Structure 1
Amino acid sequence: MDHILVKELKEARRSCGLSQAMLAARINVAPQVVKRLEVGIGSVTTLVAAKAALDFQLNGIGPGRTLGDQIRGRRLRKGLSLEALARRTKLSRATIASLEQGNGSVRSLLRLLSVIAPNARRRAKERAFWGAGDKLDRDSRFTPPDFMEHIYAAFGEIDLDPCAHLLSPVIARRHIILSEGGDGLVDDWSGRLAFMNPPFSALLIWLKRAFAQWQAGHVETVVCLVPVRSDSAWFHETLSPVADIYLLQGRVRFLDSEGKGQPTPFSLMLLTLGASTEQRMRFASLVPGFWMTRAPDMAGPSMTT
C-alpha cells in the first residue's frame, strides 16, 4: 500500500544511517520483516517497535500514550462508533477494536488512518543546526581533545565509546562504530566506564540505551555529554531520579569533520550514571558549572566505584 507513513518510515531509517538488517537487529526480527514493513505489510506491534527504535513520532492523530490510544481518541473525537467507522473503512468492527488495542496489521492501520487521520505525518525532529550548510551533517560533531582530557582526569580511562566515529578523538579501549558494522544500540556494552557523545538527533534513544546497559550491570559508570533537554516523561520519571547532572557553564567547541571548532547553539550537560562523589568533585574542579541536587534516597543500582 503506497502510504505516506510507509515512505516516511523508510526515510527515518535511512536518515539514521541504518540498513534494513541493522534496524531488524535493533527490534529483534528478521531483515525480511523490516523489508515487508517498508511496503506496508506486517504487524502493528512490529511497526510500533520500529517507530521506537527510530524515534519516529506521528503528528495529525491526537494525544495518547500509545498508538492504539491515539486511534481510539481520534475516533471518539470524530463522534464515530465502531460500527460507523467499520462502514467507512470497510474494516470489521473486530479489526478496528484490535487496532485500538495496539494489535492488527499495518495494512488495516493504514486504511483506518486514511479515513480518520488523512493528514497524519511523521513529526519533524527538533533541529539544532550548527551553522549554514550543516543541516545534512548535524550529528558529525566530535568532543574536542581538551574537553576529553577533563573527562579522563575526573573519571579515569574510558573502556567503551558505544557511539564512536572514525574521526572522533575519544580515546577508549573499545569503540563501537556504525560504519564498521557495529551498533551501540544493539551490541552489548562492557567495562568499568563508558563515555558517549551521542547523535543529538536521536538523543532519547541513546539515553534509554545507556540507562538499560547500566541498570543491567554491563557497565559500572556511564558519562554522557548531551544537550540540556528534559521534556520527555521518561527523563523525569525514570532517568533523573538515578542520574547525576552537571550543567556546563559556557559552550563546548565541538570539532567538525575537518577539525574546525564550533560552539554549540544550545546548552550542554554532563549526565552520569554510577559516578562516585570523588569523580564528580574532580570534574567540578576542572570544568565550570554545577551539579544539580539529587535526593539521597533515590540512588541507583549498587555499583562499585
Structure 2
Amino acid sequence: MHHFLSQLPPLNLPRQTVNRIQKGQGRLSVLTAALREAGYELRPEPEILAARYGQREAARKASLSRNTIAALMKGEGTVASYLALAEALKVVPCIVKRKAFAACLSSRDQTWQTPSDLLASILIAAGREAFDLDPCSPASDGPVPALTRWTETDDGLSRTWQGLVFVNPPYSRALPAWVAKCKEEASAGAVVIGLVPSRTDTRWWHDHVADQASIIMLKGRLKFGNGKGSAPFPSALIVWGGQELAARIAATIPGAWHIPTKTAA
C-alpha cells in the first residue's frame, strides 16, 4: 500500500471502492472526484505530472503507453498508472486540503454545477422560466434561474423556503442535513426539487427520500458544469411535495425512471 493512500481522509465512497484505491487499483477520476467532494486534492495533479515531460518522454520513463499518458493528462486513467508515473519521475504524491473548500461545495465548484439542459427540462415541465428559490447558490448571479438566490453567507439551512425550490446541495458531509431540510420545507408547503447522488444504501436516503418523495432516476451519469468527464456516481432528481410535477419532469428527460411516492409528501 502506498503511504499517502493509507492515510485517505473520510470519503463518500463504498468501503470496497476505498479498499481498491488503497491497493492502487480503480479509476483515478473516482479518487480525485471523491477527494474534491471531501475538500481535498491530489498533488501533483495528474494533468500537471503527465505534462511535465510531454507524452513521449513521460511514457518512456514510466514504461507506459502514450495513450495512458494522454488519459492522465485529461485527469483520467487508473490510480496504478498515476502511481507508476509518479515513481518513475521520482515524485512523492500527497493529499492536501483545498483552500477554497466551503459548505456549498457542490454549487460553488463548477465541477458540480447543475447541467443547464437538465434545469431547462425541469422548468419546461413546471411551465416556468425560473424557480422561486435557489437556497444553495455559489453567488447572487449563480447558474440556476431563480428569483431569489441564497449564498453560503445567507445560510439557507436556517431559513424558511417558499414556492418552487431547486436545490443542488453540497455533496459533502453536509448532504444529509440538506436532504432533511428539503423534506421539512416540503412538509410546510414548498415544492422542492433536489439533485442528489443516487445513494440508496445511505441512511439519509431511507430517512428522507424513500417513500417520502417522488424519485426520478436519471439514465447514465451526468456531466456537471465544466467537468471534463461524467461524474463517478449516478444521480437522481428528488421531488418533495409535487407528485404530478415529478411525473411531468420525468416525461421530459430521456431514459428517466419515475418512482412515485406512496405517501403524501
TM-score category, normalised to shorter length: 0.5 to 0.7
Aligned to 2:150: 176
Give the match for residue 126 of structure 1: 12
SS in 2 for 1:263: coil
- SS of the equivalent of 1:149 reads helix
Helix, strand or coil at the partner of 1:254: coil
Alignment of 1:159 with 2:136, yes or no, is no
Q: Cα deviation per residue 1:145-183 (whole Å; 9 max; x = unaligned)?
A: 2221111111233000011112741110000101xx201
Cα distance change on mapping 1:185 and 1:170 into 2, 3 Å? same
Q: Highest Rg: 1 or 2?
A: 1
- Show the 5 A alignment for 1:85-124: 124=10
Residue type at the aligned position of 2:256: G
Runs of 5+ consecutive residues of structure 2 not aligned to the other structure: 1-8, 14-29, 42-97
Q: Name the amino acid aligned to 2:136.
A: C
Q: 1:265 aligns with which of 213, 220, 232?
A: 232
Worse-matched range after superposition: 239-248 or 193-202: 239-248
Alignment partner of 1:145 out of 116, 126, 137: 116
- Please say if residues 214 and 243 of structure 2, whose CA atoms lie closer than 8 Å, have aligned partners that are also in contact: no
Q: CA deviation at 1:238?
A: 4.7
Tell me, what secondary structure is at the counterpart of 1:152?
A: helix
Percent identical:
30
Q: How does 1:200-239 map to 2 (within 5 A)?
A: 200-201=171-172, 202-217=174-189, 219=190, 221-239=191-209
After superposition, the C-alpha distances for 1:211-245 in whole angstroms (9 at most, x for unaligned) are 1122123x2x1000100113344532454222000
Q: Which of 157, 164, 171 in structure 2 is aligned with 1:193?
A: 164
Give 5+ residue unaligned stretches, structure 1: 1-122, 301-305
TM-score when normalising by structure 2 = 0.56
Judged with a 3 Å threshold, the aligned counterparts in structure 2 of structure 1 residues 239 and 169 are, in CA distance, closer, same or farther, namely same
Any idea what the Cα deviations from partners look like across 1:56-92, whole Å, max 9, x if unmatched? xxxxxxxxxxxxxxxxxxxxxxxxxxxxxxxxxxxxx
Q: Is residue 131–residue 146 contact of structure 2 (8 Å, CA) maintained in 1? A: yes
Contact kept in structure 2, 1:144 and 1:169, CA below 8 Å:
no
CA distance in 1 between partners of 2:207 and 2:35 (Å): 37
CA RMSD of aligned residues (A): 2.5
Where has structure 1 moved over 4 Å in runs of 4 or more?
Answer: 127-134
129 and 142 in structure 1: CA distance in 2 versus 1, 3 angstrom threshold: farther
2:256 corresponding residue in structure 1? 289
Size of the alignment, in residue pairs? 167
Question: How far apart in 2 are the matches of 1:229 and 1:293?
Answer: 17
**Structure 1 letter corresponding to 2:218:** L
